[in-house]
Amino acid sequence: MSYIVIHIHHDEEEKREILASLLAEENFESFEEKENELLAYIPVDNYSREKVEKLCNQFELTFSERLIPDQNWNAEWESNFEPVLVAGKCFIRAPFHDQKPDYPFELIIEPKMSFGTAHHETTAMMIEMMLEMDFQDKKVLDMGCGTGILAILADKMGASEVLAIDNDQWAFNNAMENKERNHVLHMNVIMGDIDNTGTGYDILLSNINRNVLLLHIPKYSERMKKGELVLSGFYEEDLGMIRKAAESVDFVLDRILIKNRWIAVRFIK
């Protein structure tokens, strides 16, 4: 899958925050903040130049765009990929980084085209929340697994069964590679969506985006008799609608983390 990255030039932090929120509603998947510039990434098939032009005209801003072909994505990631330590317990590195076995958990992640390296706030907060939880002998579902990072951690934390699922071929392939790279034993990776999963999960992890979460929360509930639902991929101003959707299907809000306006939440059923 090829991506488009758009560079929106600005000089006000407030505009950047509003723009990121509006672009997220137009299927932009991730954002990078630089001085006087917002970078936004979107799959080529989802990109509409007209919508971006309209948005930028509304705020009297200029933008440029650039295609990132499949074959260049690895180099793009690797050139900026540094190890990450989450909560002093989980060390995430690429295969070309030095080992650090002194931490309780070490994850080896090569991202390729997939989302999930803990550099983004949402992934880091999901991991931070997971480190507070008990995964021993639990049945776990990781929806939209990307690199497989959350599923791999769940396995290393003692889960008895972990299903990692993504509807993107690149993500499926990448998660399979990272599974082998980390020598996990109870993790299964499949390509598909929520309708390709089973039931009876004790813990469900989903770091996707607001619109998909709102659509899938009722189905998440159907797949859990009780347990913990951990969500991220949306902004703190979206919490109201996420909470309303979750509480309508018997979830109770238990925990919130916020970093740079991104939010992660844990619900109990």
Instruction: List % helix, strand, coil for the chain (3-state, nearest 5).
Output: 35, 30, 35
Torsion on CA atoms 5, 7, 12, 13, rounded to nearest 10: 20
Q: Where in the chain is the domain with CATH 3.30.70.790?
A: 3-68
pLDDT given for residue 25 in this prediction: 82
Cβ-Cβ contacts under 8 Å for 22 (sequence gap 6 or more): 55
Q: For 199-217, how does the pLDDT look when each residue is reduced to its tens digit (9 = 90+)? A: 999 999 999 988 899 999 9
| Topology, domain 116-268 | Rossmann fold (3.40.50)
Q: Higher confidence at residue 238 or residue 32?
A: 238
Cα(175)–Cα(171) distance, rounded to whole angstroms? Answer: 6
CATH class of the domain comprising 3-68: alpha beta
Please count the other Cβ atoms lying within 10 Å of the Cβ belonging to residue 150.
28
| pTM of the full structure | 0.75
Nearest to 264 by CA among 239, 228, 245: 239
Q: 222 by DSSP, 3-state: which?
A: helix
What is the predicted pLDDT for the residue at 255?
A: 97
The 8-class DSSP code of residue 98 comes to P
Comma-separated ranges of CATH 3.40.50.150 domains in the chain: 116-268
Residue 45's identity, in one-letter code, is: D
Predicted pLDDT of residue 115: 58
What is d(CA 141, CA 75) in angstroms, rounded to the nearest whole number?
Answer: 30
pLDDT tens track for 58-71 = 888 899 999 877 65
